[in-house]
Structure 1
Amino acid sequence: MPHKIIRKLTDNSLSRDLYPLGAGYYKHAVGHRMERLQHDDHLLIYCLEGKGKIRVNQKNIAVNSGDLVALPRGAAHQYASSQNFPWTIYWCHFDGELADDFVNHLQIPLHKPVIHLGLHSNLVGEFEALLEARHSSYHLNAFINAANQLRQILTHVALLQPLVRSQDADSFDLEKVHSLMQAHIHEQLNIDTLASSVNLSKFHFIKRYKDATGTTPINHFIQLKIERACHLLDISTRTIAEVAFMVGYDDAYYFSRIFKKVMGISPTQYRKLQVGAWSYKSFKQDSSTR
């Protein structure tokens, strides 16, 4: 990226926290290789096809389709595309006042800066949107948009990582657990049933689940129920008691308490909010006084 644009991004309050220094897309990059003894920014590489390798801390690490490489500043490194199966990659060098925080948020260890995210169409689309700035004729607004697209990419990667960790863990299929929750959204579901679905004890299941998602399985199940309840309140004229029953609560009063704990407002207030009889400003004020 032109130095003039980088200076403007550094000075702009909408982009100074995080901005790209350069980004690109290399298709079947035969002979692509790089060595940096001095690395003073951050680098992302997302491999879509083919293979490559990276050397960091005197260790060679294979890079395959679906892998993401995250190299923080200060990490001397070498990398190269495979001669027989050259990689196709997106790449982005970036910096900013909060760049270190965004990289630390990924929690990718320096001794193993390659994680297998898999191929995600949304993530590919975000990299494509980042690269749209190339066609902007150097209009600053396009590069501010690119800077915030980079923020989207990094936070999206952080969101995908718990799923990756759960897939790597033996005997723990997070998708299976969530599918079971969805199938029983209209009733109650206990921890023992969820744990047995993935062949774990209750204790180890709760620990694995919280490590992978940051919350407990029961809290997530309640969240799914309330999301379903919101949908039913949006699309129907069913009573609160009927909606409660449809998401597994026989007691409408207890359901309303759970709903308010999650949403910050009661089911009645939520319905008024959706038809304009209650304002978002009231919602904000009511939530702040809880």
Structure 2
Amino acid sequence: MSQPSDWPLPAGSSRLLLPHNITRQLAQHPLSSQLYPVAYGHYLEARDHRVRRSTHTDHLLIFCHAGRGFYRTEQHRGTITAGEVLFLPKGVAHSYHSDPEQPWSIYWTHFAGEHSQQFMDYIGIQRHTGRPPVLTLRRWQALLPDVTELLNLQHQRLTFERAMLAAALLRKLLAQLPLLVRDPDKLESGFNLTALDRFMRDNSHRQLELDDFAAFTGLSRYYFSKRFRELTGLPPIRYFNEMKMQAARKMLEETEQSVRQIALSFGFDDPYYFSRLFKKVIGMAPQRYREAAEDRQDSHEERTHDGR
């Protein structure tokens, strides 16, 4: 397979290369031999991400969900922005890189299989044509629940059965693309809360505003806020901040990072504001919460020791 880039992964990013013995089984099994992933991942704000390949032995899909990047092949060159999918077919020499000013965030997969080219033809990506290898999607957020399930497999022990599930999810994702390109008016109005929740978690290091969430869903500020409250019972910004505070609580328990470092990791330049917000959501100041968590851990260890 074409080697994925060894670009250093920042927080929130991931990369999985399926072992050769697993991909060999996928290539031989009748339920997966038509199409299967050989590597996939998520690069978040991929600053300085740059790749050039003269030999390309499998197909590559890059889906940009934020920022911007650039690509070049022998026939085409162009820009990739949020909501666009770049396909680089097997055998096509290419290069691509993230915009230094607006670094892209991308989901990507290298894939292979007996019917890979037929899938590409079905999607509308064909070699030796004048059409750029790019699809512009509408309501692409509909893809995120399956993308999330695929990414979550990386956190489990990779068995052949889980690799088979990854192949099925990839096939489903590719099969949806023509619907998202050609039939945007037939999609359900409103938004997918699972997809929005994923967007919030992927961007928990940033200070986002109501306009950012409304733009993500493709709805007006008013209608988005109304629908969000109906689904969650909370205003969007409060939901987003409470999500951050729950993640910060876990970091206080599991890491030795300072309160200031944790605040910065969630997009808060002012640690005092972060501390006030944390206390409002969790019920105590960050440092006090950390001390209480340490006391609980010490008490648990003492009880465990006494019980031996």
Q: Where on the TM-score scale, by shorter chain, does this alignment land: which range?
A: 0.5 to 0.7
Q: CA deviation at 1:125?
A: 1.8
- Provide the C-alpha distance between the structure 1 equivalents of 2:106 and 2:89, rounded to a whole number of angstroms: 18
Deviates most, 150-159 or 121-130: 121-130
Distance in 2 between the 1:12 and 1:114 partners?
A: 31
1:48–1:119: 8 Å Cα contact kept in structure 2? no
| Residues 65 and 119, structure 1, Cα contact 8 Å, conserved in 2 | no
Identical residues among aligned pairs (%) = 36
> Are residue 101 (structure 1) and residue 118 (structure 2) matched?
yes
Match status 1:116 vs 2:133: no
Partner deviation per Cα, 1:163-198 (whole Å, 9 max, x = no partner): 36xxxxxxxxx57xx99xxxxxxxxxxxxxxxxxxx
Is 1:90 aligned to 2:107, yes or no? yes
SS of the residue corresponding to residue 183 of structure 2 reads helix
Q: Distance in 2 between matches of 1:113 and 1:29?
A: 21
1:88 shift after superposition: 0.4
Q: Which runs of 5+ in 2 are unaligned?
A: 1-17, 190-308
Match of 2:305 in 1: none
* Aligned-residue RMSD, C-alpha: 2.0
* Paired residue type of 1:158: P
Q: Distance in 2 between matches of 1:99 and 1:108?
A: 11
- Secondary structure at 2:48 match in 1: coil
* 2:37 corresponds to: 20
**SS state of the match for residue 7, structure 1?**
helix
Q: Are 1:7 and 2:24 matched, yes or no? A: yes
Q: Within 2, Cα distance between the matches of 1:9 and 1:136?
A: 18
Shift of 1:119: 4.7
CA–CA separation in structure 1 for the residues paired with 2:31 and 2:152? 18
TM (norm. structure 2) is 0.51
**Residues 6 and 109 (structure 1), Cα distance of their counterparts in 2 relative to 1, 3 Å cut:** closer
The answer to whether 1:40 aligns with 2:60 is: no
- Residues 24-64 of structure 1, C-alpha deviations (whole Å, 9 max, x = no match): 00000000011111112111111000000101125420111
Judge conservation of contact 1:17–1:98 (CA < 8 Å) in 2. Answer: yes
Q: How does 1:167-178 map to 2 (within 5 A)?
A: none
Once the two structures are superposed, the pairs formed by residues 119-134 of structure 1 within 5 Å of their partners are 119-134=139-154
Of structures 1 and 2, the larger Rg is shown by 1
- 2:71/2:80 contact within 8 Å kept: yes
Q: Is 1:141 aligned to residue 158 of structure 2?
A: no
Distance 1:50 1:147, change over 3 A: same
Does the 8 Å CA contact 2:46/2:105 hold for their aligned counterparts?
Answer: yes
Query: What are the within-5 Å matches in structure 2 for residues 145-156 of structure 1?
Result: 145-156=165-176
**What residue in structure 1 maps to residue 238 of structure 2?**
none
Residue type of the alignment partner of 1:152: K
Distance 1:118 1:80, change over 3 A: farther
Cα pair 1:44 1:92 within 8 Å, conserved:
yes
Task: Write the mapping of 1:192-203 to structure 2, written as runs, cut at 5 A.
Answer: none
User: Deviation of residue 139 (structure 1)?
Assistant: 1.3
Match of 1:200 in 2: none
Partners of 1:122 and 1:16 lie apart in 2 by 26
Q: How many residues align?
A: 168
**Match in the other structure for 1:71:** 88
Distance in 1 of aligned mates of 2:106 and 2:21: 27
Query: Does 2:182 correspond to 1:162?
Result: yes
CA contact 1:67–1:117 (8 Å) conserved in 2: yes
Question: 1:136: how far off?
Answer: 2.6
SS of equivalent to 2:122:
helix
Equivalent position SS for 2:61: strand
Query: Given the superposition, is the C-alpha separation of residues 12 and 109 from structure 1 closer, same or farther in structure 2, using an over 3 Å criterion?
Result: closer
Is the 2:64–2:106 contact (alpha carbons within 8 Å) kept by the matching residues of 1?
yes
Hey, what's the Cα distance between the residues in 2 that align with 1:101 and 1:10? 16
Cα distance in structure 2, aligned partners of 1:24 and 1:2: 15
The equivalent of 1:271 in structure 2 is none
State how far apart, in whole Å, the 2-side matches of 1:78 and 1:102 are.
Answer: 23
* Aligned position for 1:272: none
For 2:63 and 2:178, locate their aligned partners in 1 and report how far apart those are by CA, in whole Å. Answer: 14
CA–CA distance in 2 between the matches of 1:62 and 1:49?
13
- CA shift, 1:134, in A, is 1.2
